Structure 1
């Protein structure tokens, strides 16, 4: 292992010897590695040993140097790892105390890459672009994109150019759906003028006495008084036909450029290949979006970010809808419920990989696949263990996105370097980039506390959808209730929000104001597992074992919103033990007893989805969000039981006394269940058949 560190022209203090002791590896310290000491990088790059460079500022330069240097293994054989120490702490006001954090970041960088996952493919190689909007603007942009795209226009007013430069559609849009390479436009062509036949001679415009025809060659039927002067002057056969019926039309496109003020899609995360360019957008943003659009022709792949296990899903059972957390939180409208198949459906082409669905999923039916929970847990555990071994205390994890969150962190570090009023990232705070901030949830946060973190903070920017903040706060409220209920003092979880560099001063002040919270006395050693509930149970076991103070009744109440743990209360006066709830439970928390009329419950398995309560015909079940600390939460216990009803003919037990009494009461007024028929309801199935057969034979004999 080779580790190259650089003080960046002596602007950050790095303790070479302390880092080497913490990592158990030699650390070569430089002051201008990307300039006059670049030869040291080239020598290290030729070696086949794993190489880590503590600089991301010049990552591209180092990659080019490696490619140009003879004897350097290719990246697929020996990748070079790059770590940001400068903005994450080296430029902080307490940078000299940041050695444990630096060691942690270097150690985590050495971890292997996540396991590859299946990919999702987009094919836009046919290069069909639809531009929607005012015709003048649409045509001007089409001219600039025509070298890359085959452009079709759909005008929303304005003047159409005289020359037939691009195909033009007309009519009323009724639907737009899809993604890059597979957009479907649906519209109704209700214009009497056929634009493909129109020569744009403008004779119709000049002849119309009401001025009902515009330069977009659309007829305003509200203003038209049926003089039909336009038809008489038109020399193109069939170009104007008022008898033409409005017909639904459909066309396929690979990408869409929308110039209208409001986008065609209402979700926060717009589909891949849909570019919204509203009026008033600043020049820089316009240029960025148009440039990105030019790069979208071809075939592309992205990871399939999620895994779904229907057997664990608490969305629906027995035609009842329970949990809809993933559907409600998805910012890309990629998830929908399928009532017929009793499951949810995720469209992978719309999924943007935020992971929010897996965060709010109580059962683990939806899991974040790339990187998976085991990989993310390994990284967090490595960060915390290395920092602690190097002398770090009261460590707070600051989780942020790789996009806007990373840029904000870099701005924060630079501000601390140049602005005396900005402190920078404190030495006890370890920033860690995630694919998306919403991709971790309750189980990994509590696992991090169990592994020795004092706090876990999440940094949100404008990149995240508004519903993410709401969902994450609900999850944090549950986690904090558990920790407070176990006697851990302080605020362990916090949602930090900053739009951009303008909010850095407030972010800097907020972070500095957060005092360390009480953690575990002895860090846990377990590893995060692929199964969400299994990881959560491991974290809870350790936190309970280390709890500073357990509640007297061994019960920690949890918030009603978002709690994936809890018990059930059954009203014994209403429950008939029909066992509908057992069939509805997706987690195996509710069970019957073949040997006796009992409803049994394993509290550890309950995800509080509410399907049992919705399914119960007697409305006898109430959810009770809580964490029960007793070991019996893993064992079946009886929620309700009743004496069996005995057959009035043979004495064999069947059903329950309450169930049979309820059935008799409900059917007492029914004409089909009177006299002997009512008595048969008190018989077991065998005796009922015998009684019917015997009664039938008696009637035949009487005849």
Structure 2
């Protein structure tokens, strides 16, 4: 069934539901306009049609014969044979159609994307370019992989790579691709990347790697200590944006603000028409057929919200929906959801559950479940809040606002609650007795949760901004910083910038000017008192400001030229 027919079926189902909630749902879905990018940026693929078919000999022969039958019926047998390279990974001698040659290769390394696949095989103890050997071309355009384990490492192979042996694509679709994948193709760039917000690395230290671990297409990597996204590999699953705690990566089709505005308007329109206890059901576009079948079995207060991909919205949108008046948020999964993407959603839902527990709400208020398993018994019929205004700010700020609104209606038993390991919420602790205020931690903090006081030795901390990336902990030369994952429900305390360590400034023994923390000066004196360059009066230079230290060194050089060798 086509997507168009699926949508028509879903719309018809909504239209024939005539109870009060059904009429309110129909009005909300009709009156709420989805905001999106009119002209999204794209990347272009160029394919000449040169295809590699690789696998066991029996499978390769069966596929080649199927292609031969198809090409005979279409009258393009010569063209297909000329653009096909067959590789057998075992010792089978396959019976192939006339004009089709094959190679043996037990091992192959395959990387790239549609129109630009690099295929290396080992021949005479050397890795060689198969496309060059077979056809005198630099790269393959399409790969048909018939092996059970696959030659490409990504869970979600790139465009142009048909993992038939792994069951991701049918033989029929792979055969059709040989004819369809010649020409020029455009694909949207699904994400925006702001490296200034990224918590991945600083000054040679590695911090957050959530986005890299979350991508099923292996499109993200660290290059020269910076996150990069290969737009040719990216397939827009959304898990990297959901996993990113700083919004350095954001989904662009549509962007998060548009999605959340849509949800706000949808619930508002539903409530204005008298609808009660709306359940927001997020589903991926690929699940349209299953949704149309399942929605008929659910109450008409279940409002379906179609997403490009299920992971394109995260915990801030889920809790915002509860704050706007939804009684529940359900993420409907399908068997096609990649494991890495599902793992990200499961982790985010686990974070959401800890918040719900702290708020004394049932964890099912935000749930992830297969659409076919959802029944009326799993749905709540009461709302927690009906906030009239749209939440604004970054996704982290919107989440905090939603949580504060939900917390305002109850008496919290504790101002601090635990969160799962790895959750991007918490604070840091510093063993101040051993801290020298070197400011190494401040220098690497990506969110400015840590800042220096500026006018005197000391630093401040704002818990709202801490994403538990660990860069400060790794940067500390004295190893006195530790991460404390939790969530502080005291909004004022969480948002205020607090002094976490300060001390008097050491005054220059020569001019009296404050120049460094006392603890740092004492630490340097203790560590260097036995060094040959700081013997006798030279040790006093550690207690001088920079200007006086230089003057003292120059003066000593003039008076004692032999001491120049000690500088």
CA separation of 1:452 and 1:512: change in aligned 2, threshold 3 A: same
2:388 aligned to which of 516, 524, 527:
524
Distance in 1 separating the partners of 2:558 and 2:253: 71
- The equivalent of 1:684 in structure 2 is 545
Q: Which structure is larger by alpha-carbon Rg, 1 or 2? A: 1
- The equivalent of 2:26 in structure 1 is 102
How many angstroms does 1:358 deviate by? 0.5
CA separation of 1:653 and 1:144: change in aligned 2, threshold 3 A: farther
1:290 aligned to which of 172, 175, 192:
175
How many angstroms does 1:90 deviate by? 4.6
Q: Give the aligned length.
A: 543
CA separation of 1:298 and 1:323: change in aligned 2, threshold 3 A: same
How many angstroms does 1:518 deviate by? 4.5
- The equivalent of 1:184 in structure 2 is 118
Partner SS for 2:455: coil
Distance in 1 separating the partners of 2:171 and 2:562: 94
How many angstroms does 1:306 deviate by? 0.3
1:374 aligned to which of 248, 254, 257:
257
Distance in 1 separating the partners of 2:382 and 2:115: 50
Distance in 2 separating the partners of 1:491 and 1:603: 28
**Alignment deviations for residues 476-532 of structure 1 (CA, whole Å, 9 cap, x no partner):** 23333334434556642011125xxxxx3xx144x4233346411x32312566x43
Partner SS for 2:62: helix
- The equivalent of 2:52 in structure 1 is 130
How many angstroms does 1:444 deviate by? 0.9
Tell me if the contact between 1:180 and 1:254 (Cα under 8 Å) persists in the aligned partners.
yes
Partner SS for 1:302: strand
Give the 5 Å matches for 1:576-591: 576-591=436-451
Is 1:396 aligned to residue 279 of structure 2? Answer: yes
Is 1:153 aligned to residue 77 of structure 2? Answer: no
Tell me if the contact between 1:118 and 1:303 (Cα under 8 Å) persists in the aligned partners.
yes
Tell me if the contact between 1:88 and 1:431 (Cα under 8 Å) persists in the aligned partners.
no
CA separation of 1:294 and 1:426: change in aligned 2, threshold 3 A: farther
Distance in 2 separating the partners of 1:497 and 1:152: 41
Tell me if the contact between 1:478 and 1:558 (Cα under 8 Å) persists in the aligned partners.
no
Tell me if the contact between 1:490 and 1:516 (Cα under 8 Å) persists in the aligned partners.
no
CA separation of 1:550 and 1:333: change in aligned 2, threshold 3 A: same
Distance in 1 separating the partners of 2:530 and 2:42: 62
Distance in 1 separating the partners of 2:562 and 2:397: 68
Q: Which moved more, 1:623-632 or 1:577-586?
A: 623-632
- The equivalent of 1:311 in structure 2 is 196
How many angstroms does 1:561 deviate by? 3.2
Distance in 2 separating the partners of 1:163 and 1:385: 64
2:292 aligned to which of 386, 407, 410:
410
- The equivalent of 2:355 in structure 1 is 482
Give the 5 Å matches for 1:649-668: 649-668=510-529
Tell me if the contact between 1:481 and 1:556 (Cα under 8 Å) persists in the aligned partners.
no
**Alignment deviations for residues 582-627 of structure 1 (CA, whole Å, 9 cap, x no partner):** 1101111111122110111222222222211121112222223313
Is 1:444 aligned to residue 317 of structure 2? Answer: yes
Partner SS for 1:689: helix
Distance in 1 separating the partners of 2:212 and 2:562: 65
Distance in 2 separating the partners of 1:256 and 1:311: 37
2:145 aligned to which of 258, 272, 281:
258
CA separation of 1:152 and 1:512: change in aligned 2, threshold 3 A: same
Tell me if the contact between 1:487 and 1:548 (Cα under 8 Å) persists in the aligned partners.
no
How many angstroms does 1:466 deviate by? 1.9
How many angstroms does 1:427 deviate by? 2.2
How many angstroms does 1:254 deviate by? 0.5
How many angstroms does 1:164 deviate by? 6.8
**Alignment deviations for residues 125-161 of structure 1 (CA, whole Å, 9 cap, x no partner):** x111111121533532452466364111222232255
Distance in 2 separating the partners of 1:449 and 1:409: 22
Partner SS for 1:559: coil
How many angstroms does 1:112 deviate by? 4.8
- The equivalent of 2:10 in structure 1 is 84
CA separation of 1:188 and 1:491: change in aligned 2, threshold 3 A: closer
1:640 aligned to which of 472, 483, 501:
501
Partner SS for 1:385: helix
TM-score when scaled to structure 2?
A: 0.87
How many angstroms does 1:550 deviate by? 4.3
Distance in 2 separating the partners of 1:333 and 1:399: 25
How many angstroms does 1:170 deviate by? 4.0
CA separation of 1:408 and 1:292: change in aligned 2, threshold 3 A: farther
**Alignment deviations for residues 268-296 of structure 1 (CA, whole Å, 9 cap, x no partner):** 211111112229x69x9332443345322
How many angstroms does 1:163 deviate by? 7.9
1:120 aligned to which of 21, 43, 46:
43
Partner SS for 1:84: helix
Tell me if the contact between 1:89 and 1:425 (Cα under 8 Å) persists in the aligned partners.
no
**Alignment deviations for residues 13-46 of structure 1 (CA, whole Å, 9 cap, x no partner):** xxxxxxxxxxxxxxxxxxxxxxxxxxxxxxxxxx
Is 1:276 aligned to residue 198 of structure 2? Answer: no
Distance in 1 separating the partners of 2:357 and 2:11: 34
How many angstroms does 1:664 deviate by? 2.4
Gaps of 5+ in 1: 1-55, 62-80, 191-244, 417-423, 499-503
Distance in 1 separating the partners of 2:474 and 2:43: 37
- The equivalent of 1:594 in structure 2 is 454
- The equivalent of 1:362 in structure 2 is 245
CA separation of 1:682 and 1:560: change in aligned 2, threshold 3 A: farther
**Alignment deviations for residues 24-73 of structure 1 (CA, whole Å, 9 cap, x no partner):** xxxxxxxxxxxxxxxxxxxxxxxxxxxxxxxx999569xxxxxxxxxxxx
CA separation of 1:160 and 1:686: change in aligned 2, threshold 3 A: same
- The equivalent of 1:207 in structure 2 is none
1:322 aligned to which of 199, 207, 210:
207
Tell me if the contact between 1:646 and 1:654 (Cα under 8 Å) persists in the aligned partners.
yes
- The equivalent of 1:695 in structure 2 is 556
1:612 aligned to which of 465, 469, 472:
472
TM-score when scaled to structure 1?
A: 0.71
Distance in 2 separating the partners of 1:558 and 1:172: 51
- Which structure shows the bigger proportion of residues in helix conformation? 2
How many angstroms does 1:572 deviate by? 0.7
Distance in 2 separating the partners of 1:508 and 1:562: 29
Tell me if the contact between 1:172 and 1:189 (Cα under 8 Å) persists in the aligned partners.
no
Partner SS for 1:263: coil
How many angstroms does 1:440 deviate by? 0.7
- The equivalent of 2:377 in structure 1 is 512
Tell me if the contact between 1:176 and 1:264 (Cα under 8 Å) persists in the aligned partners.
yes
Is 1:462 aligned to residue 335 of structure 2? Answer: yes
